[in-house]
Amino acid sequence: MKKIILDVDTGIDDALAISYAVHSPALEVLGITTTFGNITVEEATRNTVQILEFLGYSQIPVYAGAKRPLFRELKEKAKLFHGENGLGNIELPPPQTPVQKQEASAFMIEQARRHPGKLTIVTVGSMTNLAKAIRDEPEMTALVERVVVMGGAVTVPGNRTPVAEANICADPEAAELVFQSGIPVTMVGLDVTMQTLLTREHLALWREKGTDVSRLFADMCEFYMNAYAQVGNVRGCGLHDPLAVGVVIDPTFVTAVPMHVSVDTSGGLSDARTIGDRRKHPAAAANVDVCLEVDHERFVEHFLQNVF
C-alpha cells in the first residue's frame, strides 16, 4: 500500500478525491491536510471532517494548514463551481471529530521523517502547506518519495485565467518553490484532467444505487455540472482531483513527459502560468513529470468502481 497525505481545499471534486482515496485498497491515507483555494481553510477543514464522517472514516486525522498564500492576498472563493459552502450548498451534519492541533506542514515533515522514501504527498489545492514544509525542512526533498500535484496547464488554456490553472493561481510562489526544490513531482494538470468526464448519466446511476453517500455525491456533482454548463461544458464535469489520486493508485492511467516547469510570478498577464520546457539544455533540466495523455475510459471506470 502506498502511504499518502492528501492535501485539499475541500470543494466538490476534492470530496470525490477523498472518497476515492479512502476506499482504495492500494492506499493508506495517513492524514488529510487542508488549505485555502476553492474556499477558506476553515471551511475546507470543516468540509473535510464532514465528508470523512459521512463516509464512515472519521478515524483519519485532519490537520488544518495555510490560511493565505506565502506572499499574496487571498483570492475570492470559487462560489460558481463549489457554492457558498464548498459542497454545492448541500448541508451536512455539524462535524463532531476534533481537528488535530498539529499544523499541516509540520505533520507533513513528521510523516516524511517517519516514512523516509515511502511517502507520497498528493496536493489538490494550493501548494502552500508543502512549500512551507520544504522551507522549514529542506530534507523533505530527499525524504518524500513523490509529490503528485493536481495543478497547472502546459499545453492547454487555464481555467482561472486564459493561461493559469486555479490551484497554481491560488499561490504561484508556493508552486514555484515546490517545482524548483528538487522534490520529485508529477503534474496532473488540465492537460489530462479535462479529458476525464463524469456525466449526468453517471449521476443517474448513483441515484439508482440509493445509498446516502451515492445520493449526496450525485447532488453535489449536479451543482458542479450546472456550473460547468454555464461555461460551455454541457456534457458533465472533469474529474480533476480524483485523477491525481488515480495516478498514485495506478501510474499507467497517464503518460508523463519529463520537462522543466516554472511558474510565472511576474504579476502580469501571464501570471501563474506553468511553463513547460522540453529542450535538452542545461538551463532546462527536467524537474517535473508532466502528464500529457490519459487513458480516460479506463480511469473513469476505475473511479466509478471505487469511489464508494
Annotated active-site residue 240? The verdict is: yes
Q: Cell for 200?
A: 449526468
Annotated active-site residue 9? The verdict is: yes
Please identify which of the residues 14, 171, 191, 240 carries the catalytic annotation. 240
The β-bridge partners of 259 are: 288
Q: What is the torsion angle, in degrees rounded to the nearest 10, for the CA atoms of residue 133, residue 191, residue 40 and residue 98? A: -60
Q: Helix 128-136 crosses helix 104-114 at what angle (to 10 degrees)? A: 60
Give the C-alpha distances (Å, rounded to integers) separating 274 from 131, 154, 261, 262, 294.
16, 6, 6, 6, 19
| 3-state per-residue secondary structure call for 255-294 | EEEEEEEEECCCCCCCCCCEEEECCCCHHHCCCEEEEEEE
One-letter amino acid identity for 159? N
Q: Which residue has the cell 482515496?
A: 21
- Catalytic residues, which ones? 9, 240
